[in-house]
């Protein structure tokens, strides 16, 4: 007889033999776990965020803290920060999810028609059915039309895949590089600072991180000489095969000039690199002197031979003016990929069955917005402008506040949803961090969290030049909360500077 607890032995008959088995750890232990998973780090949801979650529970349980709430400025989750959903999107999702609403008189006619069209493209006319692995054809065609209108150039709907957020598509394409070339492991060029999805995924897949540094003193510009240095150094140990560019930048908030994009494309062509164009913030441009140019548009207009560069570009419903992070939708467009490679990519994606249908529906609403004259147009335009205008105002608030603090330097937030200020830390603060077993910027961030309830992400989680310290904060808290956060931050920094002069 198997017996797991001593407390139950008293009910056994005296003649019964008891076999005691120690608790097994199973076939997976820390010693035989995939070492890449152990090395993997994802800063925006790391130890600080775990601690922030614990503090939220402690406050809810009545614990006394120096603050009455936790402000999560660590992640670009707009609706968690009280951004209002776009009515048109939610109405289409509601009608497609519960078709009885289509029969009611409460929904606008264009919303009902959109839901009907999407449902006709779903198996069994239900959003609960599987779709094709790379997405509903109707929606892929609408995405192609969106790209054509954006760039003024042809897009092939069959080169577009709908994904469970841009992250999912990025990981699928990165996975294609999991092999050696000429006996060298693969390396991918990534910007520093970078979004931790890239460093985490490269670590998970065992792919080398070939770092190139953005120039903070020039507004996080990308210097072609730095790309050359990075490629040359990386090629000593790795087969460098692709380059990642995030535009508008995360965490840096810069928007690349067209000439900069041209330089990158020419560099990628010369080095035979696939370009990962992370363009999820393409709708988030606030600076009057900045403009978004897609890599697809610039590459096409450069003409041969550059128009033949291999490119994978990515878009998401989580950002822009929509902020539908939890519904998990996005797309990628593949340009000039070897057809046989693309076939294998689609095959690999099919093993994941399909992206969420609801996320695909939101993609359709982003790609094919209400037209002028349609019932939903005026409200959609009003809500879209309100979100983007407010983000612009908040981007200016946050830069002004940080640049007004002693020891801070914060570049203009031209786009995206974040600021990435540089902070000077005294030798005493660095020594205190060392004594606590933490990196200096991590030490600062933990002190801010424990003293004020403000959760940010240390710059070391994104990468930074040695000897410099930064942190990333979102611009997403609504204006009253953002003002409160910045006022609290200023008082904290003054106190911290007095404690570690």
Closest by CA position to 410, among listed 488, 480, 469, 482: 469
* Average pLDDT of the segment spanning 486-493: 93
CB 147 within 8 A of CB 295: no
pLDDT of residue 399: 94
Q: Which of 21-25, 47-51, 468-472 has the highest mean pLDDT?
A: 468-472
Cα-Cα-Cα-Cα dihedral of 29, 30, 33, 36, to 10°?
Answer: 170
Q: In whole angstroms, how far apart are CA 490 and each of 46, 225, 398?
A: 24, 38, 11
Q: Identify the band that residue 144 occupies on the pLDDT scale cut at 50, 70 and 90.
A: very high
Tell the residue number behind the tokens 């693969």, with chain if given.
186
Average pLDDT in the chain: 88
Q: Which CATH number fits domain 118-367: 3.10.20.30, 3.40.640.10, 3.40.30.10, 3.30.70.3270?
A: 3.40.640.10
DSSP letter string, 366-379: HHSPPPTTSTTHHH
Q: What are phi and psi of 219, to 5 degrees?
A: 70, 35
Digit-coded pLDDT (tens) for 345-378 = 888 888 788 888 989 999 999 999 999 999 999 9
pLDDT surpasses 50 at 461: yes
Cα distances from 59 to residues 65, 448, 453, in angstroms, run 7, 16, 10
**Is 408 within 8 Å of 421 (Cβ atoms)?**
yes
Instruction: Write the CB contacts of 262 (distance below 8 Å, at least 6 apart in sequence).
Output: 298, 302
- List helix spans (H) across 121-223: 137-151, 166-175, 196-205
317: how many CB neighbours lie within 10 A of its CB?
27
pLDDT for 42 beyond 80? no
Q: Residue written as tokens 């010693």?
A: 31
CB-based contacts of 216, cutoff 8 Å, min separation 6: 411, 422, 465, 468
Q: Which fold has domain 40-69+384-499?
A: 3.90.1150
**CA nearest 177: which of 192, 189, 169, 187?**
187
- Among residues of the chain, what percentage have pLDDT more than 70? 92
Residue 467: predicted pLDDT: 87
Residue 420 confidence (pLDDT) above 80:
yes
Residue 185 has pLDDT above 80, yes or no: yes
Q: How far apart are CA 192 and CA 466, in angstroms?
A: 11
* Token representation of residue 114: 């959109």
Query: Which residue ranges does the chain devote to CATH 3.40.640.10?
Result: 118-367
And the tokens for 122? 């779903």
Whether the per-residue pLDDT at 95 is higher than 80: the answer is yes
Name the band, by pLDDT with cuts 50, 70 and 90, for residue 4. Answer: very low
Q: How confident is the model at residue 73 (pLDDT cuts 50, 70, 90)?
A: confident
Distances in Å between the Cα of 368 and the Cα atoms of 188, 291, 293, 444 are 34, 22, 20, 45
* Mode of pairing for the β-strands spanning 19-20 and 418-419: unpaired
Tokens 């150039």 identify what position?
153
Are 436 and 443 spatial neighbours (Cβ–Cβ below 8 Å)?
A: yes
Strand partners, 140: none
Tokens of 161: 């895949």
Please say if the pLDDT value at position 393 is more than 90. Answer: yes
Q: Half-sphere exposure of residue 8, counting CA atoms within 13 Å on the CB side?
A: 9
Give the number of residues written for the chain.
501
Helices (H) and strands (E) in the chain, counts: 17, 17
CB 255 within 8 A of CB 291: yes
Q: Which pLDDT score is estimated for 75?
A: 80
- Do the Cβ atoms of 111 and 119 come closer than 8 Å? no
pLDDT digits 0-9 by tens, 105-116: 789 999 999 999
Helix/strand/coil for 326: helix
The residue with tokens 């890449």 is 36
**Residue that is written with structure tokens 């291999």 in the block:** 310
**pLDDT (0 to 100) of residue 263:** 94
- Sequence-distant (6+) residues with CB within 8 A of 189 are 210, 211, 212, 227, 230, 231, 234, 240, 242, 243, 244, 273
Which two structure tokens, joined as six digits, stand for 41?
Answer: 């780090």
Residue 61: how many other CB atoms lie within 10 Å: 7
pLDDT of 44: 57
Q: Please tell me the predicted confidence (pLDDT) of residue 38.
A: 66
Token pair 């892929």 is found at 140
Does position 401 have pLDDT exceeding 80, yes or no? yes
Q: Supply the pLDDT for residue 351.
A: 79
Considering the entire predicted model, what is its pTM? Answer: 0.87
Q: How far apart are CA 412 and CA 393, in angstroms?
A: 12
- Whether 490 shows a pLDDT value over 50: the answer reads yes
Token pair belonging to 381 = 């335009």
Alpha helices for 377-471 (secondary structure H) = 377-403, 427-435, 440-452
- The CATH 3.90.1150.10 portion of the chain extends over 40-69+384-499
* Residue 8 pLDDT exceeds 50: no
Element (H, E) at 114: helix 109-120
Between 33-47, 66-80, 243-257, 407-421, the lowest mean confidence (pLDDT) is in 33-47
């Amino acid at each position: 007889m198997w017996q797991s607890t001593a407390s139950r032995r008293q009910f056994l008959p005296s003649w019964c033999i008891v076999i005691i088995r120690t608790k097994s750890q199973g076939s997976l232990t820390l010693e035989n776990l995939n070492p890449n998973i152990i090395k993997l780090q994802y800063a925006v949801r790391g130890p600080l965020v775990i601690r922030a979650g614990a503090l939220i529970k402690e406050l809810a349980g009545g614990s006394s803290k120096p603050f009455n709430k936790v402000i999560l400025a660590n992640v670009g989750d707009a609706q968690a920060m009280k951004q209002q959903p776009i009515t048109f999107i939610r109405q289409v999702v509601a009608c497609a999810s519960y078709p009885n609403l289509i029969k009611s008189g409460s929904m606008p006619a264009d919303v009902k028609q959109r839901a009907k069209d999407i449902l006709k493209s779903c198996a069994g006319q239900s959003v609960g059915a599987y779709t094709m692995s790379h997405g509903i054809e109707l929606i892929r065609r609408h995405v192609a039309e969106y790209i054509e209108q954006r760039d003024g150039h042809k897009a092939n709907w069959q080169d577009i895949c709908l994904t469970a957020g841009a992250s999912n598509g990025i990981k699928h394409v990165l996975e294609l590089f999991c092999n050696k070339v000429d006996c060298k492991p693969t390396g991918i060029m990534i910007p520093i600072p970078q979004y931790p999805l890239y460093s985490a995924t490269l670590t998970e897949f065992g792919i080398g991180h070939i770092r190139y540094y953005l120039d903070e003193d020039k507004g996080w510009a990308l210097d072609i000489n730095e790309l050359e240095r990075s490629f040359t150094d990386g090629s000593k140990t790795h087969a460098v095969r692709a380059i990642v560019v995030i535009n508008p930048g995360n965490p840096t908030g810069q928007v690349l000039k067209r000439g900069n994009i041209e330089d990158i494309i020419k560099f990628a062509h010369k080095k035979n690199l696939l370009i990962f164009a992370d363009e999820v913030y393409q709708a988030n441009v606030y600076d009057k002197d900045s403009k978004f140019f897609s890599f697809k548009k610039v590459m096409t207009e450069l003409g041969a031979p550059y128009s033949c560069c291999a490119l994978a570009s990515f878009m998401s419903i989580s950002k822009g003016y929509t902020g539908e992070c939890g519904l998990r939708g996005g797309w990628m467009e593949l340009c000039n990929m070897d057809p046989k490679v693309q076939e294998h990519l689609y095959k690999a994606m099919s093993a994941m069955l399909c992206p969420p249908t609801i996320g695909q529906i939101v993609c359709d609403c982003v790609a094919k917005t209400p037209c002028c004259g349609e019932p939903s147009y005026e409200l959609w335009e009003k809500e879209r402008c309100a979100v983007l205008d407010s983000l612009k105002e908040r981007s200016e608030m946050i830069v002004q506040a940080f640049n007004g603090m002693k020891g801070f330097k914060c570049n203009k937030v031209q786009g995206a949803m974040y600021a990435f200020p540089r902070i000077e830390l005294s030798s005493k603060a660095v020594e205190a961090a060392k004594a606590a077993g933490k990196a200096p910027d991590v030490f600062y961030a933990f002190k801010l969290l424990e003293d004020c309830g403000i959760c940010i992400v240390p710059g070391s989680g994104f990468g930074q030049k040695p000897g410099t310290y930064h942190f990333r904060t979102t611009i997403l808290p609504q204006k009253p909360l953002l003002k409160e956060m910045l006022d609290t931050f200023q008082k904290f920094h003054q106190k911290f500077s007095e404690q570690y002069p």
